[in-house]
Structure 1
Amino acid sequence: MKTNFMKKNIKILGVLILTLSVSVFVLSIGLRVSGIYINTTPSLPVGFYKVVDEPIASGAYVAFCPPQNAVFDMARDRSYINRGDCPGGYGLLLKRVFAQSGDTVSIDQAGIFVNGEHLPNSAQLAADAEGQPLPQYRLKAVLNDSEYLLLSNVNPQSFDARYFGLIARDQIQQVIYPLFTWSH
């Protein structure tokens, strides 16, 4: 009799887990269709972000498809970024704009400087948490009209501009605004 009771409880638990999984999946699709992103990564504050019709400006949060190249292939293969619907099988990334047209940007091992000001948490790491070497991107340039510097200022281990450089305007899909966020 105990065995039937346990089998019944396991079956009910399985149905509950399946129902919950399907519900979360449907909710995430519904939110995406309504222009809301859920950020669970440490690159930005965790929470809900809404697509807004605003220009790309310094300080804005944006969603972008990474350019298809060897650095992003490595990031996808090492699970620094998610797989998704962007070209190359990359997932959409959320970052903050720290420099745009006319800004002078310098990227080296010490970090990122915009117009001579050092950005917090921007020093490059030589290796990831698994000991694998990270790209050591270098740049010293004045940005043109189609270039943006996108990174995280809250996570010193974020995979961002310090490793992949500038992002072109045509890679940026939307400007997003934090609706409700909380700390990690």
Structure 2
Amino acid sequence: MKIGKPKTTTIKKILLATVLVVGPVVALSATGFSLNTTECLPLGLYKSVSKPITIGSLATTCIPLRDTQEGLRRGYLDAGTACYGISAPLIKIVAAGAGSVIKETPDGVWINGKKWPMSKPLLHDTSGRLLNPDVGVHILEKGQYWVMGLNRKTWDSRYYGPLSKNELLERQTPVLTIQGNL
């Protein structure tokens, strides 16, 4: 009488499933493609382009190391090697650069006097953990950039402040996306 399959069969199936899922994602990444699975931008496939990163463009970004470590602990970031050897980058909109005045209030973010859509910062994440919005006025210096998403729940410069030019990796363009409920 056979009660159950040996554990090695289960392990082999898990390994095979992992290879079938992770393998294509790694292969896409190696060819300049990124998969956005968050709601900060439309879900889907993005590709690196050789154009310079400009205000208004999409870019893969690393965030400051202390925030990267916190993001990994909280599950906001995926593991990877592109950012400090420990996390995968995020795709964000480069909303502002040098000379821009960012005013972050409990009601939202104003960039040079214009309110960014759905930018009211949250005080807690979806797990109820405390967030610390970077409320105040920021005047971006040369080499600093403010990045945003298109969803109130996006983890963006509202929480970690401006990024340096070195933290903007590559310009991205949508290839195949699904417009969700942002």
TM-score tier, shorter chain, comes to: 0.7 to 0.9
- Among 154, 158, 165, the alignment partner of 1:158 is 154
Alignment of 1:179 with 2:182, yes or no, is: no
How do 1:78-157 and structure 2 match up within 5 A?
78-85=74-81, 86-87=83-84, 89-153=86-150, 155-157=151-153
1:68·1:88 contact (CA, 8 Å) conserved in 2?
no
TM score, norm. by length of structure 2 = 0.86
2:108·2:121 contact (CA, 8 Å) conserved in 1?
yes
Q: Which residue of 2 aligns with 1:44?
A: 41
1:109·1:123 contact (CA, 8 Å) conserved in 2?
yes
Spell out, residue by residue over 1:17-65, the C-alpha distance to the aligned partner (whole angstroms, 9 max, x if none): 6434312222112111111111111111111111001121122110112
Structure 2 CA distance for aligned equivalents of residues 14 and 141 of structure 1? 52
User: Structure 2: which 5+ residue stretches go unaligned?
Assistant: none
Aligned residues: CA RMSD = 2.3
Structure 2 CA distance for aligned equivalents of residues 168 and 109 of structure 1? 24
Q: Which residue of 1 aligns with 2:163?
A: 167
Structure 1 CA distance for aligned equivalents of residues 149 and 56 of structure 2? 11
Return closer, same or farther for 1:72/1:19 CA change in 2, 3 Å cut-off: closer
TM score, norm. by length of structure 1 = 0.85
Spell out, residue by residue over 1:92-124, the C-alpha distance to the aligned partner (whole angstroms, 9 max, x if none): 111111111232211122111011011111111
1:26 match: secondary structure? helix
Instruction: List, as ranges, runs of 4+ consecutive aligned residues in structure 1 with deviation greater than 3 Å.
Output: 13-20
Q: Which has the larger radius of gyration?
A: 1
2:172 match: secondary structure? strand
- The offset of 1:74, in angstroms, is 2.2
Identity %: 28
1:157 match: secondary structure? coil
1:125·1:157 contact (CA, 8 Å) conserved in 2?
yes
Which residue identity lines up with residue 22 of structure 1 in the other structure? Answer: V
- Among 63, 70, 79, the alignment partner of 1:74 is 70
Which residue identity lines up with residue 155 of structure 2 in the other structure? Answer: F
Structure 2 CA distance for aligned equivalents of residues 116 and 174 of structure 1? 28
2:109 match: secondary structure? strand
Return closer, same or farther for 1:20/1:160 CA change in 2, 3 Å cut-off: same
- The offset of 1:89, in angstroms, is 2.3
